[in-house]
Amino acid sequence: MAKKKTQVSKEQALEYYRQMLLIRRFEERAGQLYGMGLIAGFCHLYIGQEAVVVGIQSVLSDKDSVITAYRDHGHMLACGMDPNGVMAELTGREGGLSKGKGGSMHMFSREKNFYGGHGIVGAQIPLGTGLALAHQYNKDGGLCVAYMGDGASNQGQVYEAYNMASLWKLPVIYVIENNQYGMGTSTKRSSTGKNYYSRGQGWDIPGEKAEGMDLTVIREAAQRAVDHVRSGKGPYILEFDTYRYRGHSMSDPGNYRSKEEVEGVKVNRDPIDCFKAHILKDYNVTEDELKLLDKEIKAIVLDSVEFSKTSPEPDPSELYTDILVESN
């Protein structure tokens, strides 16, 4: 049997595990800092959904661009952005990726082709479609991955974007992270039809739905999407069944779902536990190797916490900078 594109070496498998664990540990600490009053405002944690972004990013190339909404810390870490910069942005410090002026929902990196971090539900989808237009216009071979949740999937501008992306055969992958709840409203109460991926049919956009807690499955689906888009056939929609363990944001106690439901996912479908079992079994990874990784990640996250506490608040003069680009 021919080797699948998505088959990976032990080193790669460990790297994916490392990335997922980094996101989880980072988010757990962010939650703690929020509780301590060091992070304020809106803070949407990605815990439970780690496999989606790590799986997708693993099949992209350096020239591809990424955009998402406000549950974005995991995407930034998966894009290789500095954990110190992300955490210090959460605490509103000078060393934050947006110099403390963006916050949890607004971080960007031109270097890593990460275009935010957007707080208006669904707005990132036309923006990502525009990034895809730029890839096509510049003939740079890149594509854009535009992430959204099940909640954003009911916004009208998503379908306006689908129409143009299909009409112009733009290189864009729309990734729907269906975590079952748009804030406190379950998909059953917000949406007609069983699926979101199939909503591209009216615009001739192919799509598929896959388990969003299994990194291997996600990688295979993502590779199909990338192959489709890179061949010039236009957009592709991926929907992943996933789950967020925490509330919508830090102020959400999550009374709209039962403890049993949440525990059931944690015990049976946790993306990190599932992948761990897989690499222990299939890659001869040892518990010692994983312990070493745990230690390494703990150090990175603790560093970011320390940095986010010690980095100074922005200088008051920063209030008036970056409003307009000064013309030459």
In the complex, the residues that contact other proteins under the rule CB under 8 A are 65, 67, 96-103, 106-110, 115-120, 123, 125-135, 137-138, 156-157, 160-161, 163-164, 167-168, 321-325, 327
Looking at the Cβ atoms of 292 and 319, the one nearer to other proteins is 319
Least separation in angstroms between CB 311 and other proteins: 13
Least separation in angstroms between CB 327 and other proteins: 6
DSSP summary character for residue 245: S
Least separation in angstroms between CB 191 and other proteins: 20
Least separation in angstroms between CB 154 and other proteins: 14
DSSP secondary structure of 3-69: PPTT---HHHHHHHHHHHHHHHHHHHHHHHHHHTTSS-S-----TT-HHHHHHHHTT--TT-EEE--
Looking at the Cβ atoms of 123 and 215, the one nearer to other proteins is 123
Looking at the Cβ atoms of 117 and 247, the one nearer to other proteins is 117
In terms of DSSP bridges, do strands 181-182 and 185-186 run parallel, antiparallel, or are they unpaired? antiparallel
> Angle, to 10 degrees, between the axis of helix 83-90 and the axis of helix 287-310?
50
Q: Which residues contact 276 (CB under 8 A, 6 or more apart)?
A: 17, 290
Sign of the C-alpha dihedral, residues 122, 119, 112, 17? Answer: negative
Looking at the Cβ atoms of 102 and 151, the one nearer to other proteins is 102
Looking at the Cβ atoms of 100 and 182, the one nearer to other proteins is 100
Phi and psi of 55, rounded to 5°?
A: -65, -45
Least separation in angstroms between CB 96 and other proteins: 7
Looking at the Cβ atoms of 88 and 215, the one nearer to other proteins is 88
